[in-house]
Structure 1
């Protein structure tokens, strides 16, 4: 549905309801599409977020490689003479 911004002013509640229901609502200005009303994605509950973050953590652990710790990282940057290698 396309509706001008000036017409939408008096119908905002109805337009929001329609957008939430899945209807495409496009506001026009001077006959050209200006903005689209779209519903906000629902926020995940705490358990869903925790499961997602746990999955990300497991993936990161699986990809991690052993390497030098921060105290010894300079060993890879400088040669025996203390100059950049």
Structure 2
């Protein structure tokens, strides 16, 4: 296994014997990359975002809301330009 900071590269043939450990590492936020003939082919990632990532997202949303305030209840991202420009098409 090759350890590069928070990244693990391991051959698929070797990964078979260490799958449980590799899954735990991926769940913990480590990049786990399986290789075939030295080439990266698969990255193991958790299905759910780790708690830290969820908290970072919530923090980013709170920061955005502090800058622009709460979005209206009928906000639609597809119509977000309505909040950027006035009725004459000029920046609001």
TM-score (norm 1): 0.50
- Is 1:58 the equivalent of 2:65? no
Aligned to 2:55: none
Aligned to 2:13: 6
- Is 1:38 the equivalent of 2:82? no
* Distance across 2 between alignment mates of 1:6 and 1:56: 53
Residue 59 of structure 1, CA deviation: 1.7
Contiguous gaps of at least 5 residues in structure 2: 1-7, 50-70, 80-92
Q: Which has the larger radius of gyration?
A: 1
* Distance across 1 between alignment mates of 2:13 and 2:72: 46
Contiguous gaps of at least 5 residues in structure 1: 43-54, 64-85
* Structure 1 residues 56 and 22: alpha-carbon distance in aligned structure 2, compared to 1, 3 A threshold: farther
TM-score (norm 2): 0.47
Runs of 4+ in 1 over 6 A off after TM superposition: none
Aligned to 1:27: 34
Residue 10 of structure 1, CA deviation: 0.8
Kindly indicate which of the two structures has a greater share of residues assigned to strand: 2
Residue 56 of structure 1, CA deviation: 9.1
